[in-house]
Amino acid sequence: WDTVSSVAQMQANDMVTLVLGVPLLVISFWLERRGSLRGQLLLAGTLGFFLYTYMSMCFGTAYNPLFLVYVALFGLSLYAFILAMLTFDLATLPQHFSAGLPRRWIAGLLIGAALFLALAWLGRIAATFGSDQAPPLENVTSMFIQAMDLVLVVPACVLGAVLLLRCSAWGYLLASVAIMKFVTMGTAVSLMGLNMARAGVPVSAAELVIFPAITLVNLVLAVLLLRNVSGGEVSVAPAHKMAPNPP
């Protein structure tokens, strides 16, 4: 069975998915189909949110009749995200960003988020060293969320920040997708803390303040990023780069 804490978190995440995630997915897909690079970036970031969400649901939710639904949504979001990333033409992508893009602020936020997650999760893991005791795991057998963040989120943030400061095409892409993803993910995590507190689960004041603050800053930077995408036409990878060579 799921614990009170995990149920409170999933309820908040489901609300954000329905109220924010699904509308953003529909709107960004519509914009991308109309040839908008802003829509393309927003679509990739939103798909990243769905990928993370249903990956965690597959691995962390107590088994129930919806398990195959979680698996299907995980698979669909995974391959949709991969295909969305493959559509970007890295050779021309940097040309679509204006000189007014706050690259240092975006990179600073990504580095800050990576450090916060790394220190928080590594600190929790390090506390088990030498004690021969596992950390509090509630209804799971391992720290799968921490593993996902340390393997996927933290390196992506660091790489995106460093490459963005170097004006690399990959930096523009990774940083943009990360910022777009955190619009929904940050909102979800912030509401998770509030819903846990409402359900009587102990939540530190720092968690109730830090996550919403990061989310607010991220939202401002997401708006600035989209405003500094010039032109608006989709930068699609050439067909000969995506298709296999004929025999």
pLDDT over 80 at 186, yes or no: yes
Mean pLDDT of 216-238: 80
Q: How many domains does the chain have?
A: 1
pLDDT of residue 240: 46
Average predicted confidence (pLDDT) for the chain: 88
Residue 159 lies in a domain: yes
Q: For residues 217-223, give the mean pLDDT.
A: 95
Q: Is residue 141 part of a domain?
A: yes
* Residue range 153-177: mean pLDDT, rounded: 96
pLDDT interval class at 1 (50, 70, 90): low
Helix (H) or strand (E) holding 20: none
For 224, residues 6+ apart whose C-beta sits below 8 A from its C-beta are: 101, 102, 105
| pLDDT of the residue at 236 | 58
Q: Are 173 and 106 in contact (CB under 8 A)?
A: no
110 is a domain residue: yes
- Considering only 12-16, 21-25, 115-119, 235-239, which range has the smallest mean pLDDT? 235-239
Q: Contacts for 194-203 with beta carbons within 8 Å, 24 or more apart? A: 194/12, 195/8, 195/9, 195/11, 195/12, 196/5, 196/8, 196/9, 198/8, 199/4, 199/5, 199/7, 199/8, 200/4, 201/4, 201/5, 201/8
Dump the DSSP string for 116-128: HHHHHHHHHHHTT
What is the tens place of the pLDDT at every residue in 11-56?
889 999 999 999 999 999 999 999 899 999 999 999 999 999 999 9
Cβ atoms of 211 and 186 within 8 Å: the answer is yes
Asked, for residue 239, whether it belongs to a domain, the answer is: no
Distance CA 187, CA 12 (A): 9
Q: At CA 34, angle to CA 31 and CA 35, rounded to 5?
A: 95
* Residue of higher predicted confidence among 11 and 130: 11
Model's pTM, two decimal places?
0.88
Q: What is the average per-residue pLDDT within 152-171?
A: 96
For residue 200, tell me if it sits in a domain.
yes
CA distances from 172 to 8, 165, 200 (A): 35, 9, 41
Residue 247 lies in a domain: no
What is the span of the domain harbouring residue 180? Answer: 4-234
**Of all residues in the chain, what percent carry a pLDDT higher than 90?**
62
Residue 28 lies in a domain: yes
Concatenated DSSP letters of 163-227: HHHTT-HHHHHHHHHHHHHHHHHHHHHHHHHHHHHHTT----HHHHHHHHHHHHHHHHHHHHHHH
pLDDT for position 3: 77
State the pLDDT confidence band at 234, using cuts at 50, 70 and 90.
low
Give the whole-angstrom CA distance, residue 211 versus residue 232. 31
Is 242 a residue whose pLDDT tops 60? Answer: no
Residue 193 belongs to some domain of the structure: yes
